[in-house]
Chain A
Amino acid sequence: MPQTDLRDEIYPHIAPEFYTWLLFQSEVENKHFDVEGIGPVEVRLEDRLTFASDGEDKSRTVVTGTDAPASAETKAALISGKVITDAKLVLRLPGNSYMLTLKGDLCDISSLKQVSEDADESTIVIEEDDTKDAFLLLRMQEYEDIVRIIQTLFKAFVKERATDDWYSTTLQEMRRWVHDEV
């Protein structure tokens, strides 16, 4: 009989916990993550966060605006027990930046696009003369890079979350920030 793979199950607490950790990395820690084959990557949460109540009442709260990640509304939502369900973020790689939203329990990638931080426009424009095949290969390579980055971030999160230090150190620092004691 095949063994059950725990990784196949969807655990509704894991993605929200990861998103909250990403928020903390973006707003407080401000560090770069070294991604194999890509280099240092910076993560910044952007202008839209979606929260849901953790209990039976599944009401949604959306916090928008350029200062959404550090806003009083975001902190109030966390203090009230709401969890982050969707997080819009920018990944800054050497030479490139990508904007995307991580959605729901599966960390689905939504609205992924390359952005020029100067012009706020895609830096690659598809021209008539470019072949479709070349662009398909390029886009899939980009996608695979993005997945590798998210995987690196998730592994870094798990490394912290799965240790006892989470409760004595990381969570305390996150609470300090949420309650404006940083």
Chain B
Amino acid sequence: MKLIKGARTMRRYSIDGKPDQTESDWLTRIQNQFQMHAFENAANNQRTEEQLGWVVGDSLLDADFSRLDKWYLEPYIYGQFRVDKKALPSNLFRALLDLRVKEWLTTNNRDRIPKRDKDDIRDVLSAELYAKTLPKIKVVEFCWNVDQEYLILMNLSDSFNEKFCDHFYTTFGLGLRVQTPLMFLDAGDPDIESMTKCGVSGFKARALKE
């Protein structure tokens, strides 16, 4: 787990709210939410394009959240966000499609192929190639401090972070606000406004003479 081993890189979020821990079944509710939005059929590659969901911290192949000790250590909820993406080589796809269209024309003794038939050939070819293609798998750990209402995601890619925030909201109904430097200050700090307007200090000029 990157959370505990080696050099760590992370982006921090504040969470708008937290699960109501006064309810005795709050962890069961979190568990159900995880399971409902877990990565489906994590060991299977026969999918197309993009698939995403939660897997537990120890293995990208394990999307079973039924055991609490795999994802909860008071006050932390932790796991991994997995995104699989398959991409077909477009030049190979076009060449194979042309070939199959030619075969169809010969077999059917025609000069042109109707659009519907060409679409069918494209769909079949696409399914065949996707089945043979391994996905690019990205899996990133996160750790959520339930008591202090913050979360860290071990990744700095803006697009990946955006996907994570969307899936987190879909799963738990809680919004994530990215930590900005000004969030180190209290909400009522009188210096916030002047900091928003201060600009960058220049160094072209020399210091004023004393």
Contacts and interface: CB of A to CB of B under 8 A. Distances in A.
Interface in A152-166: 154-155, 158-159, 161-162, 166
Interface string B116-155: 0000000000000000000000000001010000001000
A113 B183 contact: no
Contact of B6 (A113, A151, A171, A176): A113
A136 B72 CA distance: 11
B12 interface: yes
Given A6-B196, A7-B192, A136 B201 contact: no
A9 B180 contact: yes
A159 B156 contact: no
Interface in B155-180: 156, 177-180
A97 B183 CA distance: 25
Contacts of A137: 73, 76
A161 to B, nearest CB: 6
A15 B12 CA distance: 15
Given A20-B201, A108-B156, A176-B207, A9 B196 contact: yes
Nearest to A11: B196
A175 B9 contact: no
- The DSSP consensus for interface residues of chain A is helix
B110 interface: no
B159 to A, nearest CB: 15
Contact of B201 (A108, A126, A171): A171
Contacts of B201: 17, 20, 166, 171, 174
Contact of A6 (B3, B193, B200): B193
Given A7-B192, A108-B9, A109-B9, A18 B199 contact: no
Interface string A99-122: 000011111111111000000000
Given A17-B201, A109-B10, A126-B5, A181 B207 contact: yes
A155 B184 contact: yes
Interface stretch (A38-46, A63-71, A75-83): A75-83
A1 B26 CA distance: 29
Contact of B203 (A106, A133, A150, A178): A178
Contact of B206 (A18, A150, A181): A181
A22 to B, nearest CB: 12
A140 B196 CA distance: 31
B203 to A, nearest CB: 4
B92 interface: no
Nearest to A112: B8
Contact of A14 (B12, B58, B189, B195): B195
Closest CB pairs A-B (n = 4): A162-B191, A7-B182, A175-B207, A135-B4
25 contacts: A6-B182, A6-B196, A7-B183, A9-B182, A11-B196, A14-B181, A14-B196, A78-B203, A103-B156, A107-B181, A108-B9, A109-B12, A110-B9, A111-B8, A111-B9, A113-B7, A137-B73, A140-B76, A140-B145, A154-B181, A162-B191, A162-B194, A162-B198, A175-B206, A176-B207
Given A13-B198, A81-B203, A112-B9, 16 more contacts: A6-B193, A7-B192, A8-B183, A10-B178, A81-B204, A107-B181, A108-B11, A109-B9, A112-B8, A136-B1, A151-B184, A154-B185, A155-B184, A161-B198, A162-B194, A179-B203
